[in-house]
Structure 1
Amino acid sequence: MQSNEIPVHSEDERELKRNHTARYYAHRVRESLTRRVVKLICTIFLTFLFIIGLLVFILWLSLRPHRPRIHIRDFSMPGLAQANGFENAQVSFNVTARNSNQNMGIYYDAMEVTLYYQDQNIGGALIVGSFYEEPKNSTALTGILSGGATLTVNNQRWMQFQADRSRGEVIFRLQLTSTIRFKVVSWTSKRHKMHASCAAGVGPDGLILASYRDKKCPVYFI
């Protein structure tokens, strides 16, 4: 005859079950705490990286070097109206170099100028030796090219000038070349070869046309 009695667990079995349940919940609690600690550490680390990145970005924006701004202020060839003016040809110019950086100075090793007409070199000279330009400052660069030493214009070239003059405009190109370094406090950058190309058009009177005066010159490094 089959017995219908429900088996009764022993006290040891019940104790074992309670211990197993307690260990399970303790493990879950430890796992939850570990996960929270890991998340907290990751959050702190990512926040630290974000703050450092933001500071570096702000520092880069404030110290990012801006290349010099070159403007041609004046340019003239006074004797252009003379038929044989090539014998005493002379060019005068006034250019400004501005350091637009807020906290960065610029060292110029020297500044050379070369005058071009129809992409042909017709003169040039060293217009200033090495100098330092403070932040938010401008430097006037003036010079005169004349005679065989700094300006070479023969009769044939002068006739080309006269042909352009009869059409109302003679266009020259003034190229300035220098080697510059940027300076922040006691740090100085490596040298950069700078070129600025300034178009200069003069009218029949030999004076710069209004459309070229105060015009910004493209500046590039090589």
Structure 2
Amino acid sequence: MAEPQGCCSCCTGFIISLGLSALFLWLSLKPSKPTLSIEEFYVPALNKTAANDTKSDIITFTLKLNNKANKDKGVYYDALNVTLYHTQNLSNPVANVTIIPFYQGFKKHTSRKINVTASKAMPWSTALNEVSNGTVFRVDLKTKLRYKIILFKTKRHSIMVGGNITVTDQGSMVKPKKKGVKLSCGSVQVGRFAQVGGLVGFVLIFLWF
């Protein structure tokens, strides 16, 4: 009579091992979204200490893309579409720029320095009046990316992030705690392979209990 009990114990052990294996596999394959931030932002036309002949409508900023959270997953970026707004007029962008696609290896970070000319939608008079107390710009970024995991690539995932940049009367950005401004308030779609793996792991663990 002890034989069925031994078989049941063997099946239970197999289910537990399979469930834990599925869970660990899912955790190891699930990618972390890269961190995007604005490290520098300079508007010479708002620098009240600069000579007039050095001022222009050009806005300069540096975008940092950090993939250090992924120890073994590279990132293929599609074209990155960056839009700048002044917060007094969020319906009309003051500048648009597109960064060409590129690949970023795992545990890597890279920066892109961008110079863009502000459009006629830029409310210069308003910005100059309020810049002594800090005038605010909005940076929005949209792109799609794929993760490289070992020898294969995932499907494309949409990413939409943004952040507010406060500019002083010297034309430069205010950095929180001397760091860049992280672009957030967006979402990255999780790949189906990760969703399925997590579901399988959850079901098997549920059967265990």
Structure 1 residue 135 and structure 2 residue 106: aligned? Answer: yes
Aligned with 2:144 (options 141, 159, 179): 179
Structure 1 residue 63 and structure 2 residue 60: aligned? Answer: no
Structure 1 residue 153 and structure 2 residue 124: aligned? Answer: no
Deviations 1:7-32 (A, max 9, x none): xxxxxxxxxxxxxxxxxxxxxxxxxx
**Larger RCO, structure (CA 8 Å, separation 6 or more):** 2
**CA–CA separation in structure 2 for the residues paired with 1:185 and 1:210:** 37
**CA–CA separation in structure 2 for the residues paired with 1:77 and 1:210:** 15
Residue 201 (structure 1) shift: 0.8
Residue 170 (structure 1) shift: 0.8
Structure 1 residue 163 and structure 2 residue 129: aligned? Answer: yes
Structure 1 unaligned regions, length at least 5: 1-32
Which stretch has the larger CA shift, 68-77 or 185-194? Answer: 185-194
SS, match of residue 59 in structure 1? helix
Residue 125 (structure 1) shift: 1.1
Q: 1:63 touches 1:103 (CA, 8 Å); kept in 2? A: no
Q: 2:136 touches 2:164 (CA, 8 Å); kept in 1? A: yes
Counterpart position of 1:110? 79
Counterpart position of 1:20? none
**Percent of counterpart pairs with the same letter?**
25
**CA–CA separation in structure 2 for the residues paired with 1:213 and 1:206:** 17
Q: 1:80 touches 1:162 (CA, 8 Å); kept in 2? A: yes
Counterpart position of 1:101? 70
- Aligned residue type for 2:41: F
Q: 2:44 touches 2:56 (CA, 8 Å); kept in 1? A: no
- Scaled by the length of structure 2, the TM-score of the pair is 0.78
Q: CA RMSD in A?
A: 2.3
Structure 1 residue 73 and structure 2 residue 72: aligned? Answer: no
**CA–CA separation in structure 1 for the residues paired with 2:16 and 2:167:** 56
- Scaled by the length of structure 1, the TM-score of the pair is 0.74
Structure 1 residue 41 and structure 2 residue 13: aligned? Answer: no
Deviations 1:23-45 (A, max 9, x none): xxxxxxxxxx2xx1111111111
Q: 2:175 touches 2:181 (CA, 8 Å); kept in 1? A: no
SS, match of residue 174 in structure 2? coil
Structure 1 residue 188 and structure 2 residue 153: aligned? Answer: yes
**CA–CA separation in structure 2 for the residues paired with 1:67 and 1:215:** 17
- Aligned residue type for 2:39: R
**CA–CA separation in structure 2 for the residues paired with 1:117 and 1:158:** 10
Q: 1:72 touches 1:213 (CA, 8 Å); kept in 2? A: no
Counterpart position of 1:23? none
* Greater Cα radius of gyration, structure 1 or 2: 1
SS, match of residue 220 in structure 1? coil
SS, match of residue 209 in structure 1? coil
SS, match of residue 165 in structure 2? strand
Aligned with 1:200 (options 153, 159, 165): 165
Q: 2:42 touches 2:173 (CA, 8 Å); kept in 1? A: yes
Deviations 1:94-117 (A, max 9, x none): 121111212211110111211011
